[in-house]
Structure 1
Amino acid sequence: MRKRAAAPNSTPRSRKGERTRTRLLEAAKKVFEEDGFLNARITDISKRAKLSHGSFYHYFDSKEEIFRELAQEQESRLTAPPGDGGAARSPDDDSPRDRIRKANRRYLERYRDEARIMGVIEQVSRYDAHVNAARMGSQKHFAERSERAIRRLQKQGLADARVDPAIAADALGAMVARFAELWLVQGYREFDFESAAEQLTLLWGNALGLASEPRRTRRQMRKRT
């Protein structure tokens, strides 16, 4: 494995350096999506970024290093909370099931949009400890956020007090993550997106003992999300 001459090179010091590093990351993502991790070559990444082979090593030691950074970025985006986006309504104005619905839909949309690279990340995480740690870290962050939300619902008397918040957050989060992989990466079965998001919301709500809501039409599903 080739080493960089000096550690400071690992972090761009200029806007040009930042742009070059971003070009390499974007190019690497395309190459990994097309060729998979094992068949991807640094030469192909450099060529896709329209940079010299040596430029790659100015920013990364190896394809393992650039892939690990990509995996970390993807995992962070996957479980990140939504931005403000100038929304007129606060999440506090939504019912508990509506908040769960939005979270499930947001996760599935992000996973669907990045299904090709997520498939590669899933594969590599099985034998690369760094990538697996990134996966587990994002899942833990998501579960901790869900656990806090479940505890709030219990304090408000809206969720079943018998439910263990930590176990529920881990189990329900794992259900959504595994379902997304089987459906959107493995192609295990074909499902309508709206129906899938709604069914996951139903499972979450029922597991937590939330009050039921009237049966929703497909048009209502789209309007509320």
Structure 2
Amino acid sequence: MRTRARLIDAAKTIFERDGFLAARIIDITATAQVAPGTFYHYFESKEEIFREVAQAQEQRLTAAEAGRAADDAADASIWERIRRSNRRYLERYREEAALMGVIEQVSRYDAHVNSARIATMKHFVSRAERTILRLQREGAADSRLDPSFAADALGAMVARLAELWLVQNYRHYDFEEAVEQMTLLWANALGLRPEPPAPGRNR
């Protein structure tokens, strides 16, 4: 188990450094400090180990925070829950931006990796859809919105902006300002009432 874990950790390092196409199994085994033939005792191919690396990263993106989830706090407003959710996703994406760039590329042609990416999207979308439905029942969100469509569109906005910004360096944003702008877009799209100003928060 330790050897297998070392190979996966080494593969992550090599994929981040070299990308998927240029990564070599011999470099993975050298980084893991195992004999080249050892690789094939655990994995059949570079594609197989990459799928495991990608799956582990997708799980990190969707993992709950340690202890009680911050966005479940009883005193958190819907604005603050949206803000915390956006911040958490963007922080985790930023922490592994090099790997996410490789995952995004490979997902375009590898069905297994694409399936993992879609599963992450569905995880966030299903949560958003439930929240939108609840807000509509409470009269806090625009009743004209289709909850599924709104959740898909807003989820795609977050995911694509993260890739453009943190992987492709399309434009530079201050991190906290990006979180605020994304939160504002979410709230406006749902038709939420304006958030009361908080001390020290820029608008």
Q: TM-score range, shorter-chain basis?
A: over 0.9
Counterparts of 1:105-124 in structure 2, within 5 Å, are: 105-124=87-106
CA distance in 2, matches of 1:86, 1:127: 35
Task: Identify which range, 78-87 or 194-203, moves more after superposition.
Answer: 78-87
1:141-200 Cα deviation digits (max 9, x unpaired) = 211111111111112222111111100110000000000000000000011000000000
CA distance in 1, matches of 2:195, 2:131: 19
Task: Indicate yes or no: 2:44 matched with 1:61.
Answer: yes
Question: Which 4+ residue blocks in structure 1 deviate beyond 4 angstroms?
Answer: none
Give 3-state SS (helix, strand or coil) of 1:68's partner: helix
Candidates 62, 70, 83, aligned match of 1:101: 83
Candidates 45, 65, 83, aligned match of 2:28: 45
Which letter maps to 1:137?
Answer: A
- Paired position in structure 2 for 1:4: none
Which letter maps to 2:113?
Answer: V
- Paired position in structure 2 for 1:160: 142
- Paired position in structure 2 for 1:72: 55
TM-score, length of structure 2 as denominator length? 0.93
- Paired position in structure 2 for 1:195: 177
- Paired position in structure 1 for 2:7: 24
Per-residue deviation at 1:81?
3.2
CA distance in 2, matches of 1:204, 1:86: 20
Which letter maps to 2:95?
Answer: D
Per-residue deviation at 1:80?
2.9
1:14-69 Cα deviation digits (max 9, x unpaired) = xxx2x221111110000001111011111100110111112211111111000011
Which letter maps to 1:26?
Answer: D
CA distance in 2, matches of 1:92, 1:191: 31
Give 3-state SS (helix, strand or coil) of 1:93's partner: coil
CA distance in 1, matches of 2:165, 2:121: 18
Unaligned runs of 5+ in 2: none
- What do you get for the CA RMSD once the two structures are aligned? 1.7
Candidates 30, 33, 48, aligned match of 2:16: 33
Give 3-state SS (helix, strand or coil) of 1:176's partner: helix
Unaligned runs of 5+ in 1: 1-16
Per-residue deviation at 1:127?
1.1
Give 3-state SS (helix, strand or coil) of 1:46's partner: helix
TM-score, length of structure 1 as denominator length? 0.85
Task: Indicate yes or no: 2:187 matched with 1:205.
Answer: yes
CA distance in 2, matches of 1:34, 1:123: 14
Task: Identify which range, 177-186 or 47-56, moves more after superposition.
Answer: 47-56
1:93-151 Cα deviation digits (max 9, x unpaired) = 21001000000000000000000000001111111111111111111121111111111
- Paired position in structure 2 for 1:10: none
Q: 1:180 to 1:216 in 2, by over 3 A?
A: farther
CA distance in 2, matches of 1:83, 1:161: 34
Which structure would you say has the larger Rg? 1
